[in-house]
């Protein structure tokens, strides 16, 4: 798997991602704490989540149209160069009356990210080739888990020494370094599309709408993309449930607190680190959709153990930490398989729109589920809500396997008839 990192352009993109994601994790630790200390309001802290999700809902799908028009390397460089100075507004926040600046910064950063994510995912196949997509995506999952291990701890230290301003400056610097590394990529980064036609302003808006509709048609006509979207939608809905129910699970079921929650999250990051090597090295010949479906089944099954073992065993939090390490492997397969399937099932000219549409779909369902998760947790309890989410993963994975099998039978029948 590590041989993929010997590809110069992929390595530049990978290290740029690692550096900027470490900065993001640093800020994700310091920013909610700073907002809560200034406002003494959980509602204000929750507003950060909304500020970050709204751009995905409003811009994600449309941003994909532009990503399929523009040079993807230049798009990523420009986004990082715009993110860096935006973060430097955060040191101005030193009272509850100025917290609105935090929401603006969070919204703008997320809005810019709607262009960066699809551009990165669309460019990656041109840097490594289809035969190395699974190892490359597994390395990106490894990248995220490395940042998850390093960033929060580093963010806590920097926040303790220099406050929110220090963390904002550090995160801003990571975007500048990432922009410099991405600018060194030599591979062609412009999407494969015909020459643009001259058009009036009204014609340009019509062309934009038609391109967006064209991207939606690509998703609708592909069974593979439909499977990924359906299962990912369920996972997005589950993320909203977990955001509300998991703290209650740690507090009421495990009798823990922030320390125990940190142990569990670190356990999952370690599991993802191990899983990235396993998936990248041993699962690279598995069809991406099957890897995706089995990853969903494994994630749901182990999550179900995590969220129900306290009711039958008095094993304490450490069994939960161990299970969080184990669940890192199927989660890596799930994420890697889904990403690879989207890339391999979509032609280069439409990848930005496909990834943008996925961002919008997941953001919408996360907002919906987050809105009802608190009421469901109060009514049924954290264990029941989290178990429901786990079972949904298992069922969706099983249905995906059935659909994949049906598609294979149909292709075989068509091939036989043609022969």
Is the residue at 419 inside a domain?
Answer: no
Under the banding of pLDDT at 50, 70 and 90, the label for residue 313 is confident
Identify the three-state secondary structure at position 26.
Answer: helix
Same domain as 241, residue 148: no
Share of the chain above pLDDT 90, in %: 26
**Nearest residue to 394 (alpha-carbon basis) of 297, 313, 317, 289:** 297
Q: Summarize pLDDT for 227-241 with one digit per residue, the tens.
A: 999 998 888 888 878
Is the residue at 136 inside a domain?
Answer: yes
Is the residue at 232 inside a domain?
Answer: yes
Is the residue at 80 inside a domain?
Answer: yes
Q: Report the distance separating Cα 413 and Cα 411, nearest Å.
A: 5
End-to-end CA distance of the chain: 38
Is the residue at 109 inside a domain?
Answer: yes
For 262, the token pair is 């940190």
Same domain as 144, residue 6: yes
Same domain as 290, residue 400: yes
Q: Summarize pLDDT for 137-187 with one digit per residue, the tens.
A: 888 888 888 888 888 778 778 877 888 888 899 999 999 999 999 999 998
Same domain as 114, residue 9: yes
CATH number at residue 113: 1.20.1250.20
Same domain as 178, residue 237: no
What range does the domain containing 80 cover?
Answer: 1-185
Same domain as 254, residue 175: no
Is the residue at 209 inside a domain?
Answer: no
For 342, residues 6+ apart whose C-beta sits below 8 A from its C-beta are 121, 225, 228, 351, 354, 355, 358
- Is the model's pLDDT at 121 over the cut of 50? yes
> What is the tally of structural domains in the chain?
2
For 158, the token pair is 């920097």
* Weakest-pLDDT range from 197-201, 347-351, 384-388: 197-201
Is the residue at 259 inside a domain?
Answer: yes
Is the residue at 16 inside a domain?
Answer: yes
């Amino acid at each position: 798997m590590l041989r993929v990192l010997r590809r110069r352009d992929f390595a530049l993109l990978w290290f740029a991602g690692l550096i900027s994601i470490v900065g993001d994790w640093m800020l994700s630790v310091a920013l909610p704490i700073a907002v809560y200390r200034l406002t003494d309001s959980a509602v204000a802290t929750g507003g950060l989540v909304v500020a970050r999700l709204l751009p995905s809902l409003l811009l994600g799908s449309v941003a994909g149209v532009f990503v399929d028009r523009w040079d993807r390397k230049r798009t990523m460089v420009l986004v990082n160069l715009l993110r860096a100075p935006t973060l430097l507004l955060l040191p101005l926040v030193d009272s509850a009356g100025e917290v609105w600046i935090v929401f603006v910064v969070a919204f703008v950063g997320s809005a810019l990210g709607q262009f960066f994510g699809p551009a990165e995912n669309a460019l990656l196949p041109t840097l490594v080739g289809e035969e190395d997509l699974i190892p490359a995506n597994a390395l990106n999952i490894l990248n995220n888990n490395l940042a998850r291990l390093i960033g929060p701890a580093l963010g806590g230290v920097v926040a303790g020494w220099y406050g929110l301003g220090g963390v904002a400056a550090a995160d801003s610097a990571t975007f500048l370094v990432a922009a410099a590394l991405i600018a060194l990529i030599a591979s062609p980064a412009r999407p494969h599309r015909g020459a643009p036609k001259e058009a009036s302003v009204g014609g340009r808006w019509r062309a934009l709408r038609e391109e967006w509709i064209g991207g939606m048609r690509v998703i609708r006509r592909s069974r593979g993309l439909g499977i990924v979207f359906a299962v990912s939608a369920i996972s997005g809905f589950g993320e909203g449930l977990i955001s509300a129910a998991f703290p209650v699970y740690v507090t009421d079921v495990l009798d823990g607190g922030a320390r125990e929650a940190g142990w569990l999250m670190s356990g999952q990051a370690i599991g993802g680190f191990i899983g990235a090597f396993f998936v990248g090295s041993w699962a690279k010949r598995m069809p991406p959709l099957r890897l995706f479906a089995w990853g969903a089944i494994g994630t749901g099954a182990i999550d179900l153990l995590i969220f129900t073992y306290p009711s039958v065993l008095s094993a304490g939090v450490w069994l939960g930490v161990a299970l969080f390490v184990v669940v890192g492997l199927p989660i890596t397969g799930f994420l890697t398989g889904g990403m690879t399937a989207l890339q391999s099932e979509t032609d280069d000219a439409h990848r930005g729109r496909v990834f943008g549409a996925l961002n919008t779909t997941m953001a919408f369902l996360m907002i919906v589920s987050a809105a009802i998760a608190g009421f469901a947790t109060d009514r049924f309890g954290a264990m029941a809500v989290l178990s429901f989410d786990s079972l949904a993963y298992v069922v969706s994975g099983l249905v995906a396997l059935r659909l994949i099998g049906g598609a294979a039978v149909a292709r075989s029948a068509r091939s036989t008839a043609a022969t």
